[in-house]
Amino acid sequence: MSIQSSVVAAEGKFGDFGGSYVPEELLAVLSNIASEFEKCRKDPEFEKEFRYYLKEYVGRENPLTFAKNLTERCGGAKIYLKREDLNHTGAHKINNTIGQILLAKRMGAKRIIAETGAGQHGVATATVAALFGLPCTIYMGKYDTERQSLNVFRMELLGATVVPVEKGQGRLKDAVDVALQDLVENHANTYYLLGSAVGPHPYPTMVKYFQSVISEESKRQILEKEGKLPAAVLACVGGGSNAIGAFAHYIDEKNVRLIGVEPAEAASLAEGVPAVIHGFKCYALVDEHDNPKPTYSIAAGLDYPGVGPEHSYLKSIGREENVTVTGHEALEAFQTLSKVEGIIPALESSHAVAYAMKLAPTLPKDESIIVNLSGRGDKDVRQVYEMLKNK
């Protein structure tokens, strides 16, 4: 059984977006990963193993919860929440790290490396590296290691080595550069486990494949509950992995609106221009020299100046709608969902919830919308406490 929808990239191109804009030596390494991935996705044994860990370790399938109280409060369409927050480690990222580490194992990798910004992907990678007993090095901007010291400790508890990257601005971009350099030098025994639906081919295609389980489940679940497809599916967009997974099985369903919600403070799709960053082409927030601009979102996971190539393509053909929500609105939604449903959402996911609260009242009561609740908010409680206290 295939878990991907019919939009498949030819050599990693999504229209004019995507591709691999990388040095020759890296291209060879990436081509090898791409061909190994193609073998895996055709292999029923690989599929079986992937499904096994999703069920027994991640805890899938997770529910599609009808948010009755939130629906009554908003009026209009029924709001359903796809509960990625209930996964082991508290977010959707684990779907991808499980898939990629199984690939790494098949490729005979003896060592895992990854980049991380706020630390969420680093934690998800360190988790699966521990599960499969592989040594793991996480590159993280020095500035980020200082802001996110608890996540650094979490990764260390899980047995990973966290390397603070001092070069450049000591941010995510610099960590990506160092990780790619490591891959070029050590590809014979090392696998680079990338965290979102971004980067050069085959990462966007691969990450979508593993995250598509979200919409595979939600489509079956909504048909069981409502007997028809939703009017819209909403997801927050940072790099775009939870969103592309939440959209994948609806892309060919032309009557289902796909709505990507970005923070107004880092709106690559809504306000970016086509540019090549981090080895692929996408809508990006860049300065006059095509360098990624610094962004600031209250949700660390959405703080990225680019966006996945498939989202860029779906926007360019008018299939995906792109909207923005301010940090303030997300913070309100964070509190509302907590109060009325007893679910504390991640600040990232709160952006999607905030837009759902605006959209639902404009739609008839017999329609439904699905919000992908990409993660739980435990990680954000301290930050929200500080923000509310200092208001």
Active site residues: 93, 115, 374
CB 78 within 8 A of CB 66: yes
Distance CA(92)–CA(245), nearest Å, equals 9
How many C-beta atoms lie closer than 10 Å to residue 283's C-beta?
26
Q: Which is nearer to ligand PLP, 100 or 349 (CB)?
A: 349
Q: Which is nearer to ligand PLP, 128 or 363 (CB)?
A: 128
Q: CB of residue 309 vs ligand PLP: minimum separation in angstroms? A: 13
Q: What is the DSSP letter of 160?
A: P
Q: What is the DSSP letter of 285?
A: -
Question: Which residues in the 182-221 window bind ligand PLP by CB under 6 A?
Answer: 196
For ligand PLP, the binding residue among 202, 238, 263, 279 (CB under 6 A) is 238
Supply angle C-alpha 91, 187, 201, rounded to 5: 55
For ligand PLP, the binding residue among 87, 95, 120, 125 (CB under 6 A) is 120
Q: Which is nearer to ligand PLP, 129 or 197 (CB)?
A: 197
Q: At what angle do helices 149-157 and 120-131 cross, to 10 degrees?
A: 10
Asked if residue 239 binds ligand PLP (CB under 6 A), the reply is yes
Distance CA(99)–CA(107), nearest Å, equals 13
Amino acid at 96: N
Question: Which residues in the 328-367 window bind ligand PLP by CB under 6 A?
Answer: 346, 348-349
Asked if residue 240 binds ligand PLP (CB under 6 A), the reply is yes
Of 6-14, 137-145, 236-244, 320-328, the window that binds ligand PLP (rule: CB under 6 A) is 236-244
Asked if residue 242 binds ligand PLP (CB under 6 A), the reply is yes
Three-state DSSP state, 81 = strand
Q: Which is nearer to ligand PLP, 74 or 198 (CB)?
A: 198
For ligand PLP, the binding residue among 91, 232, 298, 360 (CB under 6 A) is 91
Asked if residue 377 binds ligand PLP (CB under 6 A), the reply is no
For ligand PLP, the binding residue among 237, 330, 343, 384 (CB under 6 A) is 237
Tokens of 176: 């990506």
Tell me if the bond preceding 61 is cis, omega within 30° of 0: yes
> What sign does the dihedral 91-333-234-306 (CA atoms) show?
negative
Of 142-150, 231-239, 320-328, 361-369, the window that binds ligand PLP (rule: CB under 6 A) is 231-239
For ligand PLP, the binding residue among 151, 241, 268, 336 (CB under 6 A) is 241
Asked if residue 301 binds ligand PLP (CB under 6 A), the reply is yes
Q: What is the dihedral of CA 81, 86, 90, 91, to 10 degrees?
A: -40
Asked if residue 125 binds ligand PLP (CB under 6 A), the reply is no
Site string for ligand PLP, 243-262 (x = CB under 6 A): x-------------------
Q: Which is nearer to ligand PLP, 222 or 246 (CB)?
A: 246
Q: Which is nearer to ligand PLP, 19 or 377 (CB)?
A: 377
CB 115 within 8 A of CB 121: yes
Asked if residue 324 binds ligand PLP (CB under 6 A), the reply is no
Q: Which is nearer to ligand PLP, 37 or 247 (CB)?
A: 247
Distance CA(116)–CA(275), nearest Å, equals 22
Distance CA(220)–CA(225), nearest Å, equals 9
Asked if residue 375 binds ligand PLP (CB under 6 A), the reply is yes
Site string for ligand PLP, 93-112 (x = CB under 6 A): x-------------------
Q: Looking at beta carbons, which residue is closest to ligand PLP?
A: 375
Q: Specify burial of residue 275 (Cβ count, 10 A radius: 0-12, 13-18, 19+).
A: middle
Asked if residue 311 binds ligand PLP (CB under 6 A), the reply is no
Tell me if the bond preceding 364 is cis, omega within 30° of 0: no
CB 230 within 8 A of CB 22: no
> What sign does the dihedral 180-38-310-65 (CA atoms) show?
negative
Residue given tokens 């909504």 in the structure block:
222
Question: Which residues contact ligand PLP by CB under 6 A?
Answer: 91, 93, 120, 196, 236-243, 301-302, 346, 348-349, 374-375
